[in-house]
Structure 1
């Protein structure tokens, strides 16, 4: 006998008291019946009317939006962006919170993940609980930092550019993104007709005037003629193979960090905040304290940001091995670091390439894994190499906490943890953890 479909609760409304913040840009609440709600657009301590956006009867939890604020928190402000709010653009999670409150909320998430997934208190992690703003991001009340140097616009059926709604393929048309860097805004993506395009990515490099637009056509869609006031390179994403091909202009942008210029090919990774690369390099180098002649690993090395910083500090007798899975990123890293003869970049997945290198010991390790983290097997391998210090750069507190737990099992302790608000208005936060052998801390 076929079971009856469960009743959808989408659209149901509950008056609830908002509890603590949770990872992912929402807060936790419970209905009078004990049903768990993950509520966006709310703040801890508020009383709100929450409208269900996802979920059905019997679900472990429901997703909801705070559509009416009955008792507001002192940290609540009117969202400065007209496209923010329930059912609107999903890009910014904390438009309704004061900047200082946003950082406190991110700190609470980091602490909760450390305790729950790694069994670490802030003190055991060498963290004072502070999430630091990036340089220049402390602005007068009501002003929003324009930090996003790379913006992925979606295009609706009529050719209008916009941004995706939260957990949706629907496009929220916008005439301006408040957090977009000036170099992105000046391209005027939102004012153009993009009929036939699936998406448009706009990139404004830091430290150069390079601008790039990457177009992804819909099946059968023809590329528009892109004529902009400023010089801009145009790239196209192949709808079948997914590769990025040059239409005109350079197939890369030039980014600047730590006194060096880095070539970043189309679709390659570079930190989005204009101050992020320098901020993270400084935190990593201050934590590792590289010594002349040491051997270092840079894992998930991208276009070579940390490998370059390490090589510069390790001197002519030092050596750096970088490992990166992306073919184009490896080409860029080799180009960017060609003036360092003792830097080698290998292509492939870290878990596959590292065992083949035959390396059994190393002095320093930097790893900046993707959002999912490095994982138990990779961490176990790294812990076996006996590095005197390891720098773990993380964009996801949950993945970081899980991997720190694995490192602890492998004999490493967290010497220091620093957190940076490199994604204002969103729930994202960047962390740098410095580890050392636990025996050294006894």
Structure 2
């Protein structure tokens, strides 16, 4: 039996390349500001457009880069500046800007203003998706920084003329890049399709040394692992003898210091779905026999733990960008922890996760955010949830 074809909404003519003068509104999640095309414009009047390389309050000419007539919204680049925000600066990188490298989308924004924008996005998502009102300051990972030379993993592409470069935004077009200004001097570098990173690299975080996959996940900012470990330990407040589960544990960045904190009378369960990372985590945690690694999908492993009536005092989770989602979070709640520490790299998915935890009686007790990706719209959030209601300061 053939599957019925999905009905598609008829598309109008492309709007790509059309230009409009707009006044930019507030920041939106994703590194752009929101504007609306004048109502008098033919076909697209009144349509929302998400504008890159602009700032709130600026009047710009936006060139549409994506969308067709009839879409709910369009995407575009600010290609001409008519009024200038006081938060605008000259981008330090010569290939940052409309139609150029898609890696850094906020190089035109004063560093302090970048952090203010990120704090606003996190708070807006929490209000809209979780009904949570609080205050937040996005903290620098490295003090007195200029927002450059922080990235520990850099992947290049080969342009048609043989030069190395980066992809343009939402494109497969390679923009030649002579020097990536956010690349750390000791970054692990790869070139897609020809120069692969080393299989295993050693990452030093304080007194801990972690074997990590050169092509796998590791925190992008060179100073982020140490800051995140300290913050997670402070929020978790684990005690000697505690039983802790570390979900989406990677190679054990949080599991090792958690194992130290609970001591040999406690226990740490690290759960990781990536086979390579789980294998490396087993090696990295060999010093602590009371820490064990359970490879496999987090939901599958937790199903076994919950079915056996297991309980844990603290749960730490560092899910991918899509968040932990309902099934995993309800399994976490079933374990009965007194504290859940959530590490998140996407404000929207974090807010959805926070709403689910709130449904089950876990209140947001502490919230911090870090500028772990300067010059980009990305931000890292670390939050503490407890099983008794508390009032945020």
Gaps of 5+ in 1: 123-127, 185-202, 204-212, 218-222, 224-233, 237-249
Which residue number in structure 2 is paired with residue 360 of structure 1? Answer: 310
Q: Distance in 2 between matches of 1:181 and 1:428?
A: 18
Q: Secondary structure at the match of 1:312?
A: helix
Number of residue pairs the alignment of both structures matches: 377
Gaps of 5+ in 2: 1-7, 40-45
Which residue number in structure 2 is paired with residue 344 of structure 1? Answer: 292
Matched, 1:21 2:27: yes
Given that 2:155 and 2:190 are in contact with CA atoms closer than 8 Å, whether structure 1 keeps it comes out as no
Structure 1 pair 214/135, CA: closer, same or farther in 2 (3 Å)?
A: closer
Given that 2:364 and 2:390 are in contact with CA atoms closer than 8 Å, whether structure 1 keeps it comes out as no
Matched, 1:70 2:86: no
Matched, 1:157 2:107: no
Matched, 1:254 2:233: no
Match of 1:40 among 42, 52, 69: 52
Q: CA deviation at 1:257?
A: 1.2
Match of 2:216 among 268, 282, 299: 268
Given that 1:76 and 1:97 are in contact with CA atoms closer than 8 Å, whether structure 2 keeps it comes out as yes
Q: Secondary structure at the match of 2:26?
A: strand
Given that 1:106 and 1:429 are in contact with CA atoms closer than 8 Å, whether structure 2 keeps it comes out as yes
Q: CA deviation at 1:309?
A: 1.1
User: What does 1:125-204 correspond to in 2, within 5 Å?
Assistant: 128-136=135-143, 138-139=144-145, 143-184=146-187, 203=188
Q: Distance in 2 between matches of 1:379 and 1:405?
A: 10
Given that 1:258 and 1:281 are in contact with CA atoms closer than 8 Å, whether structure 2 keeps it comes out as no
TM-score (ref. length: structure 2): 0.92
Q: Distance in 2 between matches of 1:381 and 1:410?
A: 11
Given that 2:101 and 2:167 are in contact with CA atoms closer than 8 Å, whether structure 1 keeps it comes out as yes
Q: CA deviation at 1:215?
A: 5.1
Q: CA deviation at 1:390?
A: 0.8
Q: Distance in 2 between matches of 1:261 and 1:28?
A: 44
Given that 2:157 and 2:191 are in contact with CA atoms closer than 8 Å, whether structure 1 keeps it comes out as no
Which residue number in structure 1 is paired with residue 369 of structure 2? Answer: 419
Match of 2:93 among 66, 74, 81: 81
Q: Distance in 2 between matches of 1:4 and 1:331?
A: 49
Structure 1 pair 386/214, CA: closer, same or farther in 2 (3 Å)?
A: same
Structure 1 pair 214/67, CA: closer, same or farther in 2 (3 Å)?
A: closer
Q: CA deviation at 1:155?
A: 1.4
Q: Distance in 1 between matches of 2:151 and 2:95?
A: 16
Q: Distance in 1 between matches of 2:94 and 2:54?
A: 17
User: What does 1:312-391 correspond to in 2, within 5 Å?
Assistant: 312-357=260-305, 358-391=308-341
Given that 1:87 and 1:165 are in contact with CA atoms closer than 8 Å, whether structure 2 keeps it comes out as yes
Structure 1 pair 4/118, CA: closer, same or farther in 2 (3 Å)?
A: closer
Structure 1 pair 389/144, CA: closer, same or farther in 2 (3 Å)?
A: closer
Which residue number in structure 2 is paired with residue 192 of structure 1? Answer: none
Q: Distance in 1 between matches of 2:117 and 2:334?
A: 36
Q: Secondary structure at the match of 1:182?
A: strand
Q: Secondary structure at the match of 2:368?
A: strand
Q: CA deviation at 1:160?
A: 1.8
Which residue number in structure 2 is paired with residue 125 of structure 1? Answer: none
Q: Deviations over 1:211-262 (max 9, x none)?
A: xx54543xxxxx5xxxxxxxxxx747xxxxxxxxxxxxx6311001141000
Q: Distance in 1 between matches of 2:226 and 2:214?
A: 21
Structure 1 pair 87/352, CA: closer, same or farther in 2 (3 Å)?
A: same
Q: CA deviation at 1:313?
A: 0.7
Q: Deviations over 1:383-421 (max 9, x none)?
A: 122111110000000000000000000110000000000
Q: Deviations over 1:32-81 (max 9, x none)?
A: 12110000000001111111000110000000000111001100011111
Q: Distance in 1 between matches of 2:10 and 2:376?
A: 39
Given that 2:199 and 2:215 are in contact with CA atoms closer than 8 Å, whether structure 1 keeps it comes out as no
Q: Distance in 2 between matches of 1:315 and 1:332?
A: 21
Q: Which moved more, 1:105-114 or 1:379-388?
A: 379-388
Q: Secondary structure at the match of 2:231?
A: helix
Given that 1:389 and 1:437 are in contact with CA atoms closer than 8 Å, whether structure 2 keeps it comes out as yes
Q: CA deviation at 1:129?
A: 1.8
Q: Deviations over 1:105-152 (max 9, x none)?
A: 101110111011111111xxxxx320001123x24xxx5421011101
